[in-house]
Amino acid sequence: MNDPTEIVNYEMRGGPDSGSFAYWTRYFNPDLNQKITDADLEQDPTKREALYVAIQRTYLNDAPLVFIANLGATAAWRDNVQGFLIDGLAYYRFEDVSITR
């Protein structure tokens, strides 16, 4: 799913009904949960973006997790491999790959 709702509901929403308990941190912020619900229901893309920015700021300020590194995806290509792609979600796409000798 290429939508932020999946991540914020799984990793940031806390409380007794959250399922993963906010990515096993037991973090619970009712105000943040409401922001997540508002973003889930908002249909206007510009307003949704602003809501997700506010969600991220709240979460980072509360710091239930401390991020010490942001490692980018790494991959190597060869001249004889065509069609390999790493998509926006960091999935390796092989369906169009061809190899020449």
pTM: 0.67
Q: Where are the domains of the chain?
A: 4-62, 71-101
99: enclosing H helix or E strand: strand 98-99
Residue 20 clears pLDDT 80, i.e. is over it: no
Q: Which of 23, 3, 37 is nearest to 67 (CA)?
A: 23
Q: In angstroms, rounded to a whole number, what is the distance separating the alpha carbons of residues 15 and 32? A: 11
9 contacts 34 by C-beta, under 8 angstroms: no
| pLDDT value of position 100 | 93
Residue-wise pLDDT for 30-67, tens only, equals: 999 999 999 999 999 999 999 999 999 999 999 998 87
92: helix, coil or strand? strand
